Amino acid sequence: MPFANSLDLEQTVISLFERDGWQVKPALPDTRDYTFEMERGEECVAVQLRNHKAKVHVGYLEKFLDFLEQPEGARFTRGFLISTSGFSPSVFTYIRTEEVIDISLGTFKDDQIFWELEEPSPTPKEEVTYIGVFTCKGGVGKTTISAHLAGAFALNGYDVILIDLDRQSNLRKLLGDGVYLPGPRGSLGATITVLNHSEWREEDYPDVKIVICDCSPEYDANPEEFIKRFNYCIIPTTLNPLGINKNADVIKRTFKAIRRVNSQAELFVLINNYHADEDRRNEVLNDILKTEFKELTVDDKRCHYIDPEMVAIRFSKQLLYWGYHLVEGSKPQLAFREIAGRSFPKADFLKLLDYLEDHTNLEAAKDSA
């Protein structure tokens, strides 16, 4: 639970550390990269306190890691990320799979800090969740997003079925029958199985609760029975000046096409090929797209525009050359391997997963309120 007053929280946490022999100093002025710093012997630690109602997600972890790797962060030997509401499962996945060793996670509860050592097991899901990745336009990243969202679920411990609804069968070509992602420290991992739509029967896969469909840009090529089942639909698009009005139009047409058969699905516009360093131009383009999009949300509360500041799929070499294994003749894999210590795709898709899951919880909480 968050503290009513962040300053009280800070004081309480500082006294806990001081009791343990840490010498605490305030953060440098004008920084929000960390809350305070402290020293003990050889150690110099940056502490970031997060007093949110929601669990801390991968975005905050990535931001803190970025800071520690920059020149201003270099003097710190470690970072402590402390939350009053715990951490999303993806945070543990990211720490484990990127082998982050210089950050410790703590949850502040009942006037104590509990250091998080164990990864929580995935929350069992009762019902099968259907996620469609769909847009009436070709080449904007449907196949890439379907496969890697499946990958994020698998990294978090869920077995996933990926259904290839596209006539080109790109998923089959790229992933064959599927892939296996090993679990933490030798424990069991999770599988991604690629099927075509006629091969999928829920009763054959009792352990699978996540089904992701890579849809065809030709609406009629997607069996309606699938569109009807979607709980979520992700509509990828891009922020580029030439295409911006056309993209808005494509999104509107896609929404209408889905709504003809499915009135319940939560629809999310997701920006792909995002260049995160283009702050100003992205802001302008984003505003244009968002404005176009607003009229849709007036009547339909289940249409969402994911602000790229929150979650977007960044442009990356890993995703651009994903599929190179076909050229090399090597075994199928996802673009989650890091280059120079980082994997943008992994962080982005874990964030997307968190976003979708948070959304479900929020909706559930609202319904029961």
Ligand X SMILES: Nc1ncnc2c1ncn2[C@@H]1O[C@H](COP(=O)(O)OP(=O)(O)OP(=O)(O)O)[C@@H](O)[C@H]1O
Please report how close the Cβ of residue 345 comes to ligand X at its closest, in angstroms.
7
Whole-angstrom CA distances from 280 to 193, 217, 285, 293 are: 41, 31, 9, 20
Closest CA to 255 of 129, 136, 130, 131: 136
From the list 15-23, 161-169, 218-226, 308-316, the region that binds Mg ion by CB under 5 A is: 161-169
CA distance 147 to 179: 10
Q: Given candidates 138, 176, 241, 341, which one binds ligand X under the rule CB under 6 A?
A: 138
By CB under 5 A, is residue 282 in contact with Mg ion? no
For residue 130, the cross-strand partners are 211
Interface with ligand X includes 143 (CB under 6 A)? yes
Would you list the DSSP string of 24-85? Answer: EEEPPTT--S-SEEEEETTEEEEEEEE--SSPB-HHHHHHHHHHHHSGGGTT-SEEEEEESS
Does residue number 106 form part of the binding site for ligand X (CB under 6 A)? no
Binder among 152, 311, 319, 350 for ligand X (CB under 6 A): 319
**Residue-wise DSSP of 123-151:** PPPSSPEEEEE--SSSSSSHHHHHHHHHH
Among residues 79, 78, 87, 93, the alpha carbon closest in space to that of 107 is found at 87
The contact mask relative to ligand X for 181-220 (x = CB under 6 A, - = no) is ------------------------------------x---
Site string for Mg ion, 107-146 (x = CB under 5 A): -----------------------------------xx---
Cα 130 from Cα 200, distance rounded (Å): 12
Among Mg ion, ligand X, none, what binds residue 191 when CB lies within 5 to 8 Å by partner kind? none
Residue 41 near residue 74 (C-beta atoms within 8 A): no
Question: Site map for ligand X, 256-275, x if CB under 6 A?
Answer: ----------------xx--
State the minimum distance, in angstroms, from the CB of residue 234 to Mg ion.
Answer: 13
- 194 within 8 A of 121, measured Cβ to Cβ: no
CB of 195 to ligand X, least distance (A): 17
Question: With contacts defined by CB under 5 A, how many residues of the chain interact with Mg ion?
Answer: 4
* 237 neighbors 247 (Cβ within 8 angstroms): yes
Part of the chain binding Mg ion (CB under 5 A), chosen from 80-88, 119-127, 147-155, 165-173: 165-173
Residues 69-98 interacting with ligand X (rule: CB under 6 A): none
Pairing of strands 190-196, 160-164: parallel
Q: Taking CB under 6 A as the rule, does residue 254 contact ligand X?
A: no
Q: Does 241 bind ligand X (CB under 6 A)?
A: no
Closest CA to 269 of 167, 193, 330, 355: 355
Q: Nearest to Mg ion by Cβ — which residue?
A: 143
Under the rule (CB under 6 A), what is the footprint of ligand X? 138-144, 166, 170, 217, 272-273, 313, 315-316, 319-320, 322
